[in-house]
């Protein structure tokens, strides 16, 4: 049992957590990436650990996207997909994460030659293994790689509708935000079809572009949660709208610094977002690539932003509330968070 004298580090370790914003390829640990790189040595990803860590030093978001695409190119078989899911589940379970909504970009795997049914079979098998062996629940979000425009939207939607994994809960949109405008109608149509099929609208926006991107996912894609959303603070009317609607924002502080969206961790807007009364959750995005973990993000919230136990527990509660968990599972995790008090 925790006491009043328990350190904040021990409190964070004991805190039941939910991860809502983490990417399958970006979650691959350094040993896993090295294994894949050595298995497929014909690509640009280094096979030496020191060189790989240097490979993960990003100049800006386009460079990060280039590196991410290179690592994604190592995922060539359904077995590779399952290995990544279980590796992520293992890393998160060790951090007392009870549930994760893992973002998968199936279109990139289709382009690598994997049939949709085989990808889905691998994802389904990994969910069962994670639950039975690791005690963590895994759900999936299928996201459109924005750089592929209408083609990527059609391919992602086709997979989501024709061969959905059993644990598919959401439909997303990621990639470089500045390339989206010419494909706006294709993205809107895909999200409308996904929503009609019962999937939640969970796009990225406001990470590397201004508030107009957030307005588009709110008004055009009917977003139920927004990945990042940090540029909302540049538009007082948008801040007021997000405060009123309480649309959850999946904030990833270390990621934003590593990709050059925020100059330094001490300058991150998360404290101001909380002060503005916005609904914020804390997430890790691509943890090994950014040398972080979900637990590490909670430590940043405590050590850099000055959040105490109550503030950290509130962030953990927000993630549970914003999740796609059934009501019984939500209540159980919320009760465990409250018990720490």
Q: How far is 284 from 229, CA to CA, in rounded Å? A: 14
Neighbours of 163 (CB within 10 A): 17
207 classed as catalytic: yes
> Catalytic pick from 19, 101, 177, 207?
207
**Residue with the two structure tokens 């290995």:** 83
Q: Which of 131, 23, 128, 137 is nearest to 84 (CA)?
A: 23
CA angle 197, 101, 120 (to 5 degrees): 60
Q: How far is 278 from 33, CA to CA, in rounded Å? A: 36
Q: How far is 126 from 94, CA to CA, in rounded Å? A: 17
* Burial zone of 306 (CB within 10 Å; 0-12 exposed, 13-18 middle, 19+ buried): exposed
Q: What residues contact 229, with CB distance under 8 A and at least 6 apart?
A: 205, 206, 207, 214, 242, 249, 250, 251
Q: Tell me phi and psi for residue 48, to 5 degrees.
A: -105, 135
Partner residues linked to 201 by β-bridges: 171
Q: Which of 297, 212, 311 is nearest to 21 (CA)?
A: 297
Given a contact cutoff of 8 angstroms between Cβ atoms, the answer to whether 297 and 282 are in contact is yes
Helices (H), 112-250: 116-129, 149-162, 184-196, 211-219, 236-245
Q: What is the Cα 151 distance to its own chain's centre?
A: 23
The catalytic residue positions are: 207
């Amino acid at each position: 049992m925790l006491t009043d004298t328990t350190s904040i580090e021990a409190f964070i370790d004991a805190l039941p957590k939910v991860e809502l914003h983490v990417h399958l390829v970006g979650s691959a640990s350094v040993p896993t990436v090295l294994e894949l790189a050595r298995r497929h040595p014909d690509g640009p990803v280094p096979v030496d650990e020191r060189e790989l860590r240097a490979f993960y030093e990003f100049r800006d978001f386009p460079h990060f996207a280039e590196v991410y695409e290179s690592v994604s190119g190592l995922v060539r078989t359904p077995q590779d997909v399952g290995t990544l899911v279980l590796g992520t589940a293992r890393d998160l379970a060790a951090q007392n994460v009870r549930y994760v909504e893992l973002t998968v970009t199936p279109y990139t795997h289709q382009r690598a030659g994997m049939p949709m049914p085989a990808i889905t079979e691998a994802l389904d098998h990994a969910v069962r293994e994670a639950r039975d062996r690791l005690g963590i629940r895994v759900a999936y979000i299928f996201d459109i790689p924005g750089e592929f425009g209408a083609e990527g939207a059609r391919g992602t939607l086709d997979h989501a509708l024709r061969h959905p994994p059993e644990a598919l809960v959401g439909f997303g949109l990621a990639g470089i935000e500045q390339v989206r405008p010419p494909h706006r109608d294709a993205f809107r149509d895909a999200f409308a079809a996904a929503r009609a099929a019962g999937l939640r609208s969970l796009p990225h926006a406001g990470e590397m572009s201004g508030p107009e991107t957030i307005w588009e996912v709110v008004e055009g894609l009917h977003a139920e949660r927004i990945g990042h959303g940090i540029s909302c603070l540049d538009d007082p009317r948008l801040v007021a709208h997000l405060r009123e609607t309480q649309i959850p924002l999946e904030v990833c502080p270390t990621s934003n610094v590593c990709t050059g969206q925020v100059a330094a961790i001490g300058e991150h807007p998360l404290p101001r977002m909380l002060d503005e009364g916005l609904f914020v959750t804390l997430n890790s995005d691509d943890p090994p690539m950014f040398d972080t973990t979900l637990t590490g993000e909670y430590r940043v919230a405590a050590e850099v932003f000055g959040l105490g136990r109550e503030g950290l527990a509130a962030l953990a509660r927000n993630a549970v509330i914003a999740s796609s968990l059934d009501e019984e599972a939500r209540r159980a995790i919320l009760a465990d968070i409250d018990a720490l008090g």
